[in-house]
Structure 1
Amino acid sequence: MTKWGIIGCGRIAHRFMQGLHEVAGTRLVSSWSRRPSTVNAFVEQYGGIACTSVEELLATDIDAVYIATLPDSHAAYSIAALKAGKHVLCEKPVTVNLPELERVLAVAKDCKLLFMEGMKPAFYPLYTRLKEHLIHDPIGPAGYVRAGSSVADVPADHPNFSHELVGGGLMQIGIYEAFLAIDWLGDLQDVQAMGRFGSTGIDMFTVFQTLHAGGYSQLYAGFDLHGKGDALIAGPLGHITIHKNWWNPARATIDYLDGRTIELSEPFTAGGLNYEIAHFCDLIKAHETESPIISHQMSRQMINLIDRARAEIGLKFPSEK
């Protein structure tokens, strides 16, 4: 039995619980949120203990902590949980910047505990089936990735618009595109970006292109235009379309140079977080301290890409000034 504690009881925590219920051998033990009313309602719905502080939660009988707060607090809560002897699954983006991530990883190494960023697309059945299909019927090495999303109907009071809480297009949406580019094209070499700011000081729309060891990407993320949300991956023998929303992948089309078209369909269940939760629990049972899929180096590459794009457009957060 893997016993869990949750820090933060907002929307993503509810989705986490939807997934946790589908993973055998798991149980929610304790929860905490900055707002008492939120954690009380959460525990009433899902069970377990409503804690009044992070320290109280970390003192409960748990094996692992899921950090579901906003990015401004990810590093502090991750370090506190690791020092308390708990494995940590932390929502993306895992920290505000690369130096913060390095501090977290140093603590994880010292404590010999599992730490993983919750980058969900890598674990979806469609994504894994696509990778397996390409082993036997390849498009050749990927040389170009195009992806992005812009969501124009987010309420104005949403934390995504908060500069203090580390919102904005790059941090909230662009981190997914960073994963896709690095996963298919390899190590980052260069970044160019242009961004448009909103009244709260965050980037409302950013376009960024990147150079990798394997090729180029063109990416976008934002909150004031209505974007499509699909992804294109091109190689010399064909191209892949992961249909919207590509970060919750359920359907892909592979168009081959020889005229063939392959359709892949793998609907996901329970909101989709169940797959990364199951992977994380398997790693705990195997006494691993790092995921081979979302490795520490992958997390470094992703946040470094976002750091460099933010530097290009001049976006800093309060903790960096």
Structure 2
Amino acid sequence: MSNTETNTTTNTGKTNAIRWGIVGAGRIARRFAESLGHVDGAALAGVWSRRAEPARALAEPHGARAFDDLDAMFGEIDAVYIATMQDSHPEYALRAFAAGKPVLCEKPAAVNARTLQTMIDAARASKLLFMEAMKPPFYPLYRRLREHLARDPIGEIGLVRAGCSIAGVPLDHPSFSLEAGGGALLDIGVYEAFLAVDWLGEALDVQTIGRVGETGVDVFASLNVRHERGIAQIFCGLDLQGRGDALIGGTQGTVTIHENWWNPARASIVYTDGRRVELDEPFSGGGLNYETAHFCELLRAGATESPIMPHAMSMRMIAIIDAARRDLNVRFPFEAD
């Protein structure tokens, strides 16, 4: 077996479970491990973390192995999910590519466009699948909304309005760490950037106002973004409560994706002719299972890029965040000149 092949078929042609390894053992890693139980043909095989005890605590309930050596884990798995803080995503992704392993990387895949491009280039050079784990487009509600609007459109879409702000995040949370690449824009705003890019295309101009906290990260940001096909108004924050819905506006109607829009389950479509359509699509398995199932399908098909979350989408999202951080003069100590 070459270093770019996966252990997904037997010599009788039957499909085996894709063996996943998780880098990291925090909250999102636990959610991913639980979601794997809802993905056909996938299983957790290994967990590695810089701290041994959390890795064991995550691995054992799922019948997986906790590894002390990351390269040793790479030798026993078919795909890698990176679940660490964003400052370390490039290091682990590049190590995975060097070991011949495809990567599903938690959002944001990188803290800036330059680093993300390095990761994309390495994946392409190795002919390996690489996808940012941006979950909303894979949810049943989001897919159904896309299908409905293809049949019964709201006209030319030109507005996206969305945001999320969470009050009471403790100051010792990694989101407040400048050294770890924290801040509201990267932790939360990347979701809103996805929604804007998905419906309006590439950003052409970004105007940002916001506040920088005592640790040096952005604690609240409000963005007006001019895109190829319209305007986005988005916000994100770490010290105010602003959980909410999302609005998509067109010339013949509006869509409201009800809160919490980033875990979409309900949407209302109101047309200018008075019609109203309600979409209700509950999700199962915590939500991460949908993006993971998509990744597994791509892996079995030999694909190196997702048509739903392509590399260009990730680059367009992080370009918005880069521009907003420049406006707020937020710079991480590990970023090169």
Measure, in 2, the Cα distance between the counterparts of 1:228 and 1:166: 23
Quote the offset at 1:143 in angstroms.
0.1
Quote the offset at 1:228 in angstroms.
3.0
Measure, in 2, the Cα distance between the counterparts of 1:3 and 1:45: 16
Quote the offset at 1:197 in angstroms.
1.1
Residue 232 of structure 1 corresponds to which residue in structure 2?
247
Measure, in 2, the Cα distance between the counterparts of 1:78 and 1:114: 11
Quote the offset at 1:90 in angstroms.
0.1
Equivalent residues, number: 320
Residue 317 of structure 1 corresponds to which residue in structure 2?
332
Quote the offset at 1:205 in angstroms.
0.4
Measure, in 1, the Cα distance between the counterparts of 2:245 and 2:182: 22
Measure, in 2, the Cα distance between the counterparts of 1:281 and 1:105: 19
Measure, in 1, the Cα distance between the counterparts of 2:239 and 2:64: 39
Correspondence list, 1:282-321, <5 A: 282-320=297-335
Residue 84 of structure 1 corresponds to which residue in structure 2?
99
Alignment partner of 1:77: what SS?
helix
Measure, in 1, the Cα distance between the counterparts of 2:60 and 2:228: 50
* Partner deviation per Cα, 1:28-80 (whole Å, 9 max, x = no partner): 11111121111011112222111113222222x21100000000000110111
Residue 204 of structure 1 corresponds to which residue in structure 2?
219
What is the one-letter code of the residue matched to 2:84?
T
Aligned partner (choices 14, 20, 32) of residue 4 of structure 1: 20
Aligned partner (choices 28, 48, 60) of residue 44 of structure 2: 28
What is the one-letter code of the residue matched to 1:281?
C
Measure, in 1, the Cα distance between the counterparts of 2:49 and 2:192: 29
Aligned partner (choices 101, 105, 123) of residue 108 of structure 1: 123
Q: In the alignment, is residue 279 of structure 1 matched against residue 300 of structure 2?
A: no
Residue 259 of structure 1 corresponds to which residue in structure 2?
274
* Partner deviation per Cα, 1:134-158 (whole Å, 9 max, x = no partner): 0111001210111001000323321
Correspondence list, 1:55-70, <5 A: 55-59=71-75, 61-70=76-85
* Partner deviation per Cα, 1:205-226 (whole Å, 9 max, x = no partner): 0011101110001110001111
Q: In the alignment, is residue 15 of structure 1 matched against residue 12 of structure 2?
A: no
The TM-score normalised by the length of structure 1 is 0.98
Measure, in 2, the Cα distance between the counterparts of 1:57 and 1:164: 27
2:177 touches 2:215 (CA, 8 Å); kept in 1? yes
Correspondence list, 1:60-209, <5 A: 61-209=76-224
Alignment partner of 1:189: what SS?
strand
Measure, in 1, the Cα distance between the counterparts of 2:43 and 2:134: 21
Quote the offset at 1:198 in angstroms.
1.0
- The gaps in structure 2 that reach 5 residues or longer are 1-16
Aligned partner (choices 30, 43, 56) of residue 59 of structure 2: 43
* Partner deviation per Cα, 1:236-295 (whole Å, 9 max, x = no partner): 000000011100000000110001111111010010011000000000011000000000
2:212 touches 2:328 (CA, 8 Å); kept in 1? no
Alignment partner of 2:309: what SS?
coil
Identity %: 55
Measure, in 2, the Cα distance between the counterparts of 1:153 and 1:16: 25
Moved over 6 A (4+): none
Alignment partner of 1:318: what SS?
coil
What is the one-letter code of the residue matched to 2:268?
T
